[in-house]
Amino acid sequence: MRKKTVLRLVLAAAGVTALVLGLVQGQYGETLSKAVYLCLECVGLG
Amino acid sequence: MDRGLKRKCIQLASAVLYNANFAGFRDGAIWQGEGKGVCVPGLNCYSCPGAVGSCPLGALQNALSRLPEKLPLYVGGFILLTGLALGRLVCGFLCPFGLIQELVHKLPGPKIQKSRWTRRLSWLKYIVLALFVVAIPMCAAWARGYPLPAFCKYICPAGTLEGGWPLALLRADIRGRLGGLFCWKSALCVAILLSCVFCYRSFCRFLCPLGAIYSLFARVALLAMRVDKTLCDNCGLCVKKCPVDVCRVGDRECVQCGACRAVCPKNAIYFGKERRT
């Protein structure tokens, strides 16, 4: 039980750190720029 | 309210929330609001005219194609936190394509029961994840210099159902460009939906790489189906009645549908955080 709690805390810290670093690096904008245009692969065009 | 009905309502609400750009279904335009950079937890194509969020799998494939210059931190962090909090609860409650498969399974027809073969087949989704989400997009980006979201391009039935078909119906410019790839994806989508008539959630169980990712969090997810061992008498009814290929309640295959909870004669199965015993 204790091991699991420690693992959860480590994973949560890693997740938050990754998310924040990603935001700082401008990856939100990269995701947005892909999402706001038609994805030709997704709809089966190319 | 009945628990099954409550789950259906949550599934429907999440599908509507993910696709709340209703005007898109009228004019076929993709929503371009700022919020679209936020990923939704379930499989929902960002080229669906109604989509107001990003698909985590599509975003992950594109982010992986930027390796080794850039680690996929934003999408990776989002998936890690979602998996940690919810695990495959996302599959059972927050995935529009999961809801569609469940509705299709209600159509009359012979139903294939789970077996050791379906359990073996459930490993296929990890191969799809490794090849189509990780390896091919990364290698293609290195070789060609631009991303290839291979899962979206060659497999994703949600993209065809939510993006391809509505856009082909709504926009003449897209209809004029349809070709072999669209035919392949349409045929695959129809085959997957047809298989769902006979086999409960066949795509989730055998092919979905997002489910494969979330299944890795089965042991640590905060919210999940759990068994109160002080009440359980190991009758095995929960595993027998489960529609997917679980070996025990809450394992990697469990989509948290709650079918086990409804049949447990000892009320030993509960949903939520672990109880201290």
Q: Do A43 and B70 touch (CB under 8 A)?
A: no
Torsion of CA B195, B201, B202, B207, to 10 degrees: 140
B58 in A contact zone (CB under 8 Å): yes
Band (A46; pLDDT cuts 50, 70, 90): confident
Partners of residue A14 in chain B, C-beta under 8 Å: 77, 80
Please report the residues numbered 77 through 116 in chain B whose beta carbons come closer than 8 angstroms to any beta carbon of chain A: 77-78, 80-81, 84
B167 in A contact zone (CB under 8 Å): yes
Element spanning B263, H or E: helix B259-263
Burial of A22: CB neighbours in 10 Å, binned 0-12, 13-18, 19+: buried
Number of C-alpha atoms within 13 angstroms, CB side, residue B180? 0
Two tokens, residue B81: 């936190």
Q: How far apart are CA B218 and CA B127, in angstroms?
A: 18
In the predicted model, residues of chain B with pLDDT beneath 70 are: 276-277
Answer whether residue A21 shows pLDDT above 70: yes
Assembly ipTM:
0.95
B269 pairs with which residues across the strands?
B227
Q: Cα B140–B48–B183 angle (5° rounding)?
A: 60
Distance from CA of B247 to the nearest CA of A (A): 21
Band (A1; pLDDT cuts 50, 70, 90): low
**pLDDT of amino acid B144:** 83
Q: What is the DSSP letter of B39?
A: B
Determine contact, residues B57/B154, Cβ cutoff 8 Å: no
Give the residue from chain B lying closest to A43, CA to CA. Answer: B164
Going through chain B in order, the beta strands assigned E by DSSP cover 224-227, 269-272
Two tokens, residue B66: 């930027």
Q: Do B63 and A30 touch (CB under 8 A)?
A: yes
Q: Which of A22, A38, A46 sits opposite B77 (nearest CB)?
A: A22
Q: Do B159 and A43 touch (CB under 8 A)?
A: yes
A13 in B contact zone (CB under 8 Å): no
Alpha carbon separation from B247 to A8, B90, B93, B241, B253 (Å, rounded)? 23, 20, 21, 12, 8
Please report the residues numbered 23 through 42 in chain B whose beta carbons come closer than 8 angstroms to any beta carbon of chain A: 30-34, 36-37, 39
pLDDT mean over A17-38: 95
Q: Do A12 and B34 touch (CB under 8 A)?
A: no
Q: How far apart are CA B92 and CA B157, in angstroms?
A: 18
Sign of CA dihedral B37, B38, B43, B49: negative
**pLDDT of amino acid B276:** 61
Model-level pTM?
A: 0.94
**pLDDT of amino acid B277:** 56
